[in-house]
Amino acid sequence: MKILIVDDEELARARLKRMLTTLEYDEIEEVSSADEAINAFKNDSYDLVFLDINMPQVSGLELAYELKYLDENVAIIFQTAYEEHALKAFDIGAVGYLVKPYSLEQVKDTINRVKATAKSTAVPGEDKEELRILSKAGDSYLLLKPEEIFYVKADLSEVMIRSAKGFSYYAQKISDLQAKLEAYNFVRIHRSYLINIDEIKEIETIEQSKLRFSFRNCSDNIESSKDGAKAFREQFKI
């Protein structure tokens, strides 16, 4: 397990690193700021991050959104001297919350919870209702449920997600997001488009037997490819 410690206090980083070493974890890196954490994520990957909430300039809660955007699979354990941030932390997707000063046993128990969570989410179909897509719109982040998404459009190595909140970016390829959303009634109708069939208002046949889709709660129209139209017709018998 590769671990990153993010804390602006050198003594706090050293104490936690000693605990992790005692627990026989040896792949441990540490940084003291949000910028250093983001650079570390851009150059490497981590299984677990211990993230201090109360840091100067950028809070740990804000940084967590950025880290989750860069790697949605990373597990985050928040650490802080204050308990009032716990609810927000778990909304972001934290798997643990340690209140300073914490003990070696608390660190051990929290890491065990991370491992247990990783095993349970690896089971196909489990926790379907818990899926959230963390996307980015400018300097803000959106935590979207599948049913809030009208369609997805490929954009180079990322995708643009269309929801009632407008367009936002998601840092994965459309094929990766397709695999996650197929169980939520999303279908690929073009190499560049993935649509939510529960949001379809009308389907119109256009030139070359392609299909044009309109949506119940969105004014956009999306056109399929010829192959996408054929696959859609075969799947839904139209």
Q: Tell me the average pLDDT of the chain.
A: 88
43 & 137 share domain: no
pLDDT at 139 (0 to 100): 78
pLDDT confidence tier of residue 92, bands split at 50, 70 and 90: low
pLDDT cut 70: percent of the chain above it: 89
What's the CATH number where 41 sits? Answer: 3.40.50.2300
- The yes-or-no verdict on residue 124 having pLDDT over 60 is no
Pick from 71, 98, 121: which residue ends a domain? Answer: 121
Q: What digits encode the pLDDT tens for the residues 28-86?
A: 999 999 999 999 999 999 999 999 988 888 888 889 888 988 898 899 998 887 666 55
59 & 91 share domain: yes
- The yes-or-no verdict on residue 166 having pLDDT over 80 is yes
57 & 149 share domain: no
Rounded Cα distance, 54 and 60, in Å:
6
pLDDT at 127 (0 to 100): 47
pLDDT at 126 (0 to 100): 43
Residue 126 is assigned to a structural domain of this protein: no
* Strands 193-196 and 149-155, sheet pairing: antiparallel
- Residue length of the chain: 238
Nearest to 229 by CA among 215, 209, 213: 209
- Burial environment of residue 208 by CB neighbours within 10 A (0 to 12, 13 to 18, 19 or more): exposed
pLDDT at 120 (0 to 100): 56
Rounded Cα distance, 64 and 6, in Å:
11
Instruction: Match 């677990």 to its residue by tokens.
Output: 48
pLDDT at 190 (0 to 100): 97
pLDDT confidence tier of residue 168, bands split at 50, 70 and 90: very high
Q: What is the pTM of this model?
A: 0.65
Q: What digits encode the pLDDT tens for the residues 171-189?
A: 889 998 999 999 999 999 9
> Residue type at 176?
D
> What is the Cα gyration radius of the chain?
21
Tell me which residue range forms the domain holding 36: 3-121
Q: Which residues pair with 48 in a beta bridge?
A: 3, 75
Pick from 82, 97, 121: which residue ends a domain? Answer: 121
**25 or 59, which is more confident:** 25
Nearest to 48 by CA among 84, 86, 82, 16: 16
100 & 171 share domain: no
